[in-house]
Structure 1
């Protein structure tokens, strides 16, 4: 889709990755000035260099001081923040085990980034958005596992379920102030992690790709650009009456059981 985001400033976290960089590109292509934020400084710089009006910003969303510094830099450069895309998140490759075997430090790492980090970033970004009184858009990237739990990734499931209800809470709190908050729940997306798990010869689930995709009516993973297109819609003027919703972009995975 095409929309007019000229004059808008968008912050995308986790923007050095496949989904985040696709989101940053779609927002930029539609006129937004984009802040490409990631803990991976080199990756963020590479993404920003390919966009027409973008800057790279190194930020660790688990660290309030790092986040506050990033927001201050955005305000110094642009004087406004209109769109926040909470995309940064992690899962685990090594620890696909049951809850009783899951390492506490890995639980803390995943929930600390996926849920706590989203709170820290949202809280900091809301200060200038609310102060300006112009409204704004927040799009949180959740997951289908926040809607329908999967085994062997308990902290990821818990964090993404938390994001879904946090999104609804934010929508109730912020809607009257003109800030619309929604979430996207992607299903399987062809990222480096998906490729490593399912398509590498030594991947943990190598050889089980067709078994996994049998639960997806479209029988394929999404491309990152398909997630980005949905984010663009929710950030666009066309979504002016959508608030507190969770849109599953999953090829029909959560629609029902495939026999």
Structure 2
């Protein structure tokens, strides 16, 4: 993808690996100055060594004080934010159980990062955007926010919340110059999904082929394929798109009702 993002400043949360890292690379390759934030400061520092014109930022998106300090740091160093990619998120590998057995503490952990954290970062970043005439927000949800799966009640609820929050943000902010959209990836090959499904020692490896049998394109996606869509939504070419959720899922959501896992 080749778009003009020169003089744009982008914040990518959860940017040290996977979809976040692929997105940070592509934004930088198209001219943006990138702030790559992550809870793991060491991984963030290692990540920006691969990306020209990028800086690391240690930030826990679920911590209001850290978020406010992080946005203040960006404001003092760059003066503005033009692109926000709300990518930070988590899911549980240890509690794939039905809702009657799902720990309330794990519900809180997921909601605090995947939904509340997105709200906290969006609130602070869009306030800075509004001081400078607008910008773009791309929220990362999941296909499971569109078509829920079993044994992931908190994750599916949080990601469905992200999708509807995107719509609410879009109708509030479009008249003020900020476009807000959502990308809902399907299964994507990252370190986390490799550990869960696709690696030789994946804890749910036996489910991988059964899951992919319901993906019409017949394979797992890549972080770069997701990043291309995110960067398109950040680019000038998407200037008449807001409040939308793009499922980048190989067709998973089209046949999701068939799933038996």
**Same fold, TM-score > 0.5, yes or no:** yes
Q: Give the TM-score of the pair, scaled to structure 1.
A: 0.97
Moved more, 248-257 or 230-239: 248-257
Q: Does 1:147 align with 2:146?
A: yes
Q: Does 1:170 align with 2:193?
A: no
Post-superposition offset of 1:165: 0.2
Structure-2 separation of matches of 1:59 and 1:41: 8
Aligned CA RMSD, in angstroms, stands at: 1.2
Q: Deviations over 1:109-163 (max 9, x none)?
A: 011100000000100111111112x210000000011101111010000000000
Q: Deviations over 1:52-99 (max 9, x none)?
A: 111100000011110111111111111111000000000011110000
Instruction: Name the count of aligned residue pairs.
Output: 258
Q: Deviations over 1:14-52 (max 9, x none)?
A: 001211000000000000000000011011111112111
Aligned to 2:115: 115
Structure-1 separation of matches of 2:38 and 2:13: 6
Aligned to 1:4: 4
Structure-1 separation of matches of 2:154 and 2:176: 32
Structure-1 separation of matches of 2:196 and 2:128: 40
Post-superposition offset of 1:200: 3.8
Structure-2 separation of matches of 1:32 and 1:76: 17
Aligned to 1:67: 67
Structure-1 separation of matches of 2:19 and 2:99: 28
Post-superposition offset of 1:258: 6.0
State whether residues 214 and 258 of structure 1, in contact with CA within 8 Å, keep that contact through their aligned partners in structure 2.
Answer: no
**Where in structure 2 are the equivalents of 1:19-38 lying within 5 Å?**
19-38=19-38
Aligned to 1:247: 246
State whether residues 173 and 179 of structure 2, in contact with CA within 8 Å, keep that contact through their aligned partners in structure 1.
Answer: yes
**Where in structure 2 are the equivalents of 1:132-143 lying within 5 Å?**
132=132, 134-143=133-142
Q: Give the TM-score of the pair, scaled to structure 2.
A: 0.96
Structure-1 separation of matches of 2:33 and 2:184: 25
**Where in structure 2 are the equivalents of 1:68-83 lying within 5 Å?**
68-83=68-83
Post-superposition offset of 1:207: 2.2
Aligned to 1:98: 98
State whether residues 188 and 221 of structure 1, in contact with CA within 8 Å, keep that contact through their aligned partners in structure 2.
Answer: yes
Post-superposition offset of 1:208: 2.5
Post-superposition offset of 1:202: 4.5
Unaligned runs of 5+ residues in structure 2 are: none
Q: Where has structure 1 moved over 4 Å in runs of 4 or more?
A: none
State whether residues 215 and 251 of structure 2, in contact with CA within 8 Å, keep that contact through their aligned partners in structure 1.
Answer: yes
**Where in structure 2 are the equivalents of 1:79-90 lying within 5 Å?**
79-90=79-90
Aligned to 2:229: 230
Q: Does 1:199 align with 2:198?
A: yes
Post-superposition offset of 1:203: 3.0
